[in-house]
A = this chain, B = another copy of it.
């Protein structure tokens, strides 16, 4: 969220600027999900949002600017990592969320991913969002440690989180496999077993 400022009524959250942004970003999501990156133009977004073209050009400049802002908006969402009471449950819930976002049609997540292969700007924004989400999820590993699920291990949280979630992305995005309803849990369970066996222990002397 941009910081609220006192420089003008337009800038306050809930003001006209925020409303226009919400309308435009909704239009970007809808256009992306329907037609993908290839069909995304400022003209179509402006028309769909019911906003003057000049406003969209002035504020977002180009399709790259729209993509960056729609990804930024996803990062501003009040997203919280799951908290089910076990590491395996948490990672399964996380994987289910990921799988759902990639499988639903039209999928905004998939369209965004494809866009990140066309636009360097979108790629950077997408990468930053993911980095942020993985950091947010480190608490899952912290909680597991506190519950005694990873006894005596200095588990590297990020490695464990990547191992748990990567198969879902790989199967659906790169291998383009049919969604497998068991995959979220299977991938989570495998990562937990590997972690319990010491697979993601932070290496040789550096801090956990």
Binding site for B on A (CB under 8 A): 38, 113-114, 117-118, 123, 127, 130-131, 159, 162-163, 165-167, 169-171, 173-176, 182, 186-187, 189-191, 193-194, 196-200, 203
- With beta carbons under 8 angstroms apart, the residue of B174, B186, B187, B189 that contacts A169 is B174
- With beta carbons under 8 angstroms apart, the residue of B165, B187, B193 that contacts A198 is B193
Indicate how many identical chains form the complex: 2
Is A163 a contact partner of B187 (Cβ separation < 8 A)? yes
Overall SS of chain A's interface: helix
Given that A170-B166, A193-B199, A199-B189 are contacting pairs, would A176 and B114 also be in contact in the complex, using a CB cutoff of 8 Å? no
Among A118, A167, A176, chain B packs the most CB atoms within 10 A around the CB of A167
Among A127, A198, A199, chain B packs the most CB atoms within 10 A around the CB of A199
Is A175 a contact partner of B130 (Cβ separation < 8 A)? yes
Is A170 a contact partner of B175 (Cβ separation < 8 A)? no
10 additional contacts (CB under 8 A) given A162-B167, A163-B190, A196-B197: A166-B169, A169-B174, A170-B170, A173-B174, A186-B200, A190-B191, A190-B194, A191-B194, A193-B197, A194-B199
In the complex, what residue of chain B is closest to A131 when comparing beta carbons?
B175
Residues from chain B with a CB closer than 8 A to the CB of A174 are 113, 130, 169, 173
Bound-state Cα–Cα, A131 to B170, Å: 12
Bound-state Cα–Cα, A131 to B176, Å: 10
In the complex, what residue of chain B is closest to A193 when comparing beta carbons?
B197
Bound-state Cα–Cα, A165 to B200, Å: 16
Among A38, A113, A114, A197, chain B packs the most CB atoms within 10 A around the CB of A197
Bound-state Cα–Cα, A130 to B174, Å: 9
Closest chain B CB from A66 CB (angstroms): 18
Residues from chain B with a CB closer than 8 A to the CB of A123 are 176
Is B196 a contact partner of A190 (Cβ separation < 8 A)? no
Bound-state Cα–Cα, A119 to B199, Å: 38
Bound-state Cα–Cα, A38 to B37, Å: 14
Which 3 residue pairs across A and B have the least CB separation, nearest first? A166-B170, A190-B199, A166-B166
